Amino acid sequence: MDIKSLIDGCRKGETQALGELYKRYSEQMFGVCYRYVGIEETAQDVMHDAFIHVFSAIKQFHSSDEVALKAWLRRIMTTESLVYLRNHKMENSEIPIEDLPEEESIVSESDAESIPQEVLMKMITHLPEGYRTVFNMYVFESYSHKQIGEKLGINEKSSSSQFYRAKCLLAKQIKEYLNRDDR
């Protein structure tokens, strides 16, 4: 089924088209939710809720371009994940200052490339919730710290500092992983 007839079928509410849409994009969209939520089972539930929104809102999607469709789906997944995180805010999810790395580890482009996708994903999902959220929004959704602050209801500086800490933690983990591999 080409993308145009897929979208048209979904707009008409055809079960086959909806199923095709789900099957085609659910694995990628699961990745988006998982990156934010950090728990696989929860990410699946969040993705299901997001797809229910997708099915009810697809009539308002007026494009036959796959890139646009993917971006739209991604946005809905992100929003749904943020809603989930807001409603299930974890307490004391921040790492104490003393546990943060003293110096920022220098990570090169090649360092990041050499680490398997699955491992990188694990590193991100193991970040504290607040850091992870800001990191995801900044790196993957290209939001500015001002926009993140507005969306999460936090200070712009707070967003910036959480991102810095997330980056330090991640760099440290990457270095540790590479050092372990060297040995």
Partner 1 sequence: MKDTDEKWLKSLEKQLRDYSKPLPEDDWENFASKAFSEKEEKSQRVPLYKKTAWKWMRIAAVLILLLLPSIFVWLYLGQHNEVINRVAKIEEKMGSSPAPSSKVGPAVVIDSTIVIKKQSSVSSLLAKTTVMKSSEKKELSEKENETMNVTTYDYKDEKEGFSKNEQKEKDSTYMFLPSSSTTVIEGNLASNISIGKHHRNSLGKVLGGTIGAVGTGVLTSSLLSMNSSTFENAGSNEDCLDNFLSTSFIYASRGKRISRHLGFGFSTGVSLRESLSEHLALDQNLFLQSGNWKNDIGLNLKLVWEIWQEKHWTLYLSSGPSYQFHLQNKVFNHKGLFSVQLSPGLQYNITKHFGMYIEPNINWFLNTDDHVDYGFHHLLPGTQTGLRFSF
Under the rule (CB under 8 A), what is the footprint of partner 1?
15, 18-19, 22-23, 26-28, 30-31, 34-35, 40, 44, 48, 51-52, 55, 104, 106-109, 111-113, 117, 120-121, 124, 138-140, 167, 170-171, 174
Q: How far is the CB of 63 from partner 1 (least distance, A)?
A: 20
Q: Considering beta carbons, is residue 124 or 152 the nearer one to partner 1?
A: 124
**Nearest C-alpha neighbor of 104 from the set 161, 163, 167, 176:** 167
Asked if residues 148 and 137 have their Cβ atoms less than 8 Å apart, the reply is: yes
Q: How far is the CB of 140 from partner 1 (least distance, A)?
A: 6
Which are the contacts of 47, defined by CB distance < 8 A and separation ≥ 6? 26, 29, 30, 33, 77, 80
**Nearest C-alpha neighbor of 36 from the set 119, 127, 136:** 136
Q: Considering beta carbons, is residue 148 or 170 the nearer one to partner 1?
A: 170
How far apart are alpha carbons 149 and 152 in whole angstroms?
5
Q: Considering beta carbons, is residue 54 or 89 the nearer one to partner 1?
A: 54
Q: How far is the CB of 89 from partner 1 (least distance, A)?
A: 24
